[in-house]
Amino acid sequence: MMRRIAAWVTLLLLLPGTARAEWHAREAAIMGTRIAVEVWHEDPAVAAAAIDEVIAEMHRIDELMSHYKPESQLSRVNREAAAAAVPVDLELADLIVRALAFSEMTGGAFDISYASVGYLYEYRERRRPTAAQIAAALPSVNWHLVVVDRHASTVRFGLPGMRIDLGGIAKGHAVDRGIAILRGRGITHGSVTAGGDSRILGDRRGRPWIVGIRHPDDGDRVIARIPLEDAAISTSGDYERFFDEDGVRYHHIINPRTGTSASGVRSVTVIGPEAILTDGLSTSLFVLGPERGLALIEGRDDVDAVIVRDDGKVFYSKGLAPP
């Protein structure tokens, strides 16, 4: 059941039997997805306390940033920010600022105001908006109209009908917070996963972690295995939340320019130093497509990517290209 909730990267054990008694792991369902924490420590009590704190942090972030929870600050922003500036915690204000920086970087391919159209889709009920509904909502998809005052810690929208959704960046933020907690407790080897976003702390006790990138059509198959240490990895796929109708797949990764599901790509995996970066970029590259997406990646020296096109062809950035 949990494997069908979201696309998630399987962390594969390279050395079965090595210090197995000292690896401690737990899973939970938070932020609408599978949360997994694994740490290595000689003291089970220390490991359990560290995992407890990470899980509690995930719950806290969900309470703050979930657009499903009517009492969250994000929900209040969506209800009130078109009429007046809404006070929010600085953490939320800063995350929105980071999201707007992704919009600038990607020429609007990443846009949290996509939710102005995105809320019209209901994937479990196989419901999608009409062309007229999309056309009416599209003017409100404009990241330039999301105004954050960091001094006052407020958020304001420039148009009525605007909504924002941090689903393309909040899980990465939560994963990074989890890793910071583990480090603060002296953990030197571990991992934190939230849906398709994972970050690895250290190595697998002398060897790298081996990360499997799942096949878009089969969660039991992988298209590549990548050794990683002290790195983050995020995968966005059209198989996470979707329904098929008349040969068309309607999924949750919305192209902000059209208000419809992005096409031409099945999945994108990005590897980099922090999960907030890989999370935002994986969504962005899915919208940009292989050519423009890889051009963006090749312009940086801190990230790599694997893109699966809709015809099954796999593209690798230069740092990952097979010999």
Given this model, what pLDDT does residue 74 score?
A: 98
- The residue-averaged pLDDT of 268-279 equals 98
Q: What is the DSSP letter of 106?
A: T
- Given a cut of 80, whether residue 63 has pLDDT beyond it is yes
Given this model, what pLDDT does residue 251 score?
A: 97
- Given a cut of 60, whether residue 17 has pLDDT beyond it is no
- pTM for the model stands at 0.91
- Given a cut of 60, whether residue 16 has pLDDT beyond it is no
* Chain segment 85-133, per-residue pLDDT in tens: 999 999 999 999 999 999 999 999 999 999 999 999 999 999 999 999 9
- Whose tokens are 């995992």? That residue is 51
Beta bridge partners, 34, equal 29
Which positions ≥6 away from 116 have C-beta within 8 Å? 137, 138, 140, 141, 161, 162, 163
Given this model, what pLDDT does residue 143 score?
A: 98
- The residue-averaged pLDDT of 168-172 equals 97
* Chain segment 35-56, per-residue pLDDT in tens: 999 999 999 999 999 999 999 9
Burial of 304 (0-12, 13-18, 19+ CB in 10 A): buried
Given this model, what pLDDT does residue 14 score?
A: 38
Residue 321's pLDDT band (cuts 50, 70, 90): confident
Which domains, from first to last, does the chain contain?
Answer: 68-157 (1.10.3980.10)
**Which CB contacts under 8 angstroms, 24+ apart, belong to 179-186?**
179/275, 181/50, 181/53, 181/54, 181/57, 182/39, 182/50, 182/54, 185/46, 185/49, 185/50, 185/53, 186/46
Beta bridge partners, 35, equal 28, 194
Residue 270's pLDDT band (cuts 50, 70, 90): very high
Compute the mean pLDDT over every residue in the chain, rounded to the nearest whole number: 93
Please give the C-alpha separations between residue 211 and each of 92, 234, 253, 321, in angstroms, as whole numbers.
Answer: 30, 11, 23, 16
* Chain segment 81-96, per-residue pLDDT in tens: 999 999 999 999 999 9
Q: What percent of the chain has pLDDT over 70?
A: 93
- The residue-averaged pLDDT of 258-262 equals 98
